[in-house]
Amino acid sequence: MMERTDTRTVALLGVPMDLGGGRRGVDMGPSAIRIAGLEEGVRALGLEFQDRGNVPVPEPLSRTPKNPKARFLAEIAAACAELRRRVEAVLTDGAFPVVIGGDHSIACGTIAGISSFHHRQNQKIGLIWFDAHGDMNTPESTESGNVHGMPLAACIGRGAPELVRLGDRVPMVDVEKAVLIGVRTIDARERQEIKASGIHVFTVKDIDMHGVHKVMKMAIEIASAGTAGFHLSFDVDGMDPLVAPGVGTPVFGGTTLRESHLIMEHAAESGRLLGLEITEINPILDNQNATARVAVDLVLSALGKNIV
């Protein structure tokens, strides 16, 4: 197997956040990824690697949330603000950010950083969001109050101001440049939010009908048109639980291992990938760190690992 080699530096940022979901354990995701050999894999590609440590996540004074419609919102927003700062620092240094969660609420900080960095250069960014869930709830529509069900909405300008306004640009991403892929379970009111927003959606049915190749080609075209490139936010529960068992909200019927790699390979081959994020790995629910090992391989594919 031949590997891609170039001069890029990959910078890892861990975000041990578990405040956005209803189950504990995803805060150990960054450690699981490190143990699974991300640094060794990146260096084997001929890339420089920097581990920039973990973003501190405030511990709430009580595990009983003040706002049941947006649980631990203040603490999540504070962590995301610090993550934004660190992502901007990575980009300013000319490195490629790989952000590892933690629950998917962290995406608000990652995307705020990438959007703000490019906004200062009078550029917009696109977004490809891979997930079994819509993540398009707001505090008004949510059934659970879990903020990890709200970040995509926030990134396109809908929902809690504490998240919507994390970046220099509001919205962080224009809805016309945002694509949701792999969705297969949506709350009733969230479905209304998705339709009202106008976001581009490719469900698992679309993947079944057209294949990952065509779906990713269309998604990249949408997210790249008139932008500096796109960020890929990848929730591991978008894959089938038989591939990735270590997730807090598993939904059967997700992408296979090869389909998941093809998503990453298309992102790499586009030459338009601005940043990568992997979320919702839960080692407590995993089988001998299998999900983290799969995630490491997927990151390498997104960085350009080739078969020949």
- Residue for token pair 């990938």: 273
**133 catalytic residue (yes or no):** yes
Order of strands, edge to edge, in the sheet holding 230-235?
48-54, 9-15, 96-101, 273-279, 230-235, 126-130, 178-183, 200-203
Tokens of 9: 């530096």
Q: Which of the following is catalytic: 190, 280, 286, 297? A: 280
**104 catalytic residue (yes or no):** yes
Mutual orientation of helices 257-270 and 204-224 as an angle, nearest 10°?
A: 10
The answer to whether residues 232 and 277 touch, using CB atoms and an 8 Å cutoff, is yes
Q: Which of the following is catalytic: 75, 162, 237, 265? A: 237
Q: Which of the following is catalytic: 27, 88, 103, 135? A: 135
Q: What's the sign of the alpha-carbon dihedral 231, 235, 238, 244?
A: positive
Cβ neighbour number for residue 171 with a 10 Å cutoff: 19
**148 catalytic residue (yes or no):** yes
Quick one: which of 145, 131, 259 has its CA closest to 203?
A: 131
**135 catalytic residue (yes or no):** yes
- Residue 127 CA to residue 107 CA, distance in Å, equals 11
Q: Which of the following is catalytic: 104, 231, 261, 266? A: 104
**93 catalytic residue (yes or no):** no
Q: Which of the following is catalytic: 88, 103, 118, 133? A: 133
**237 catalytic residue (yes or no):** yes
- Show which residues are catalytic: 104, 131, 133, 135, 148, 235, 237, 280
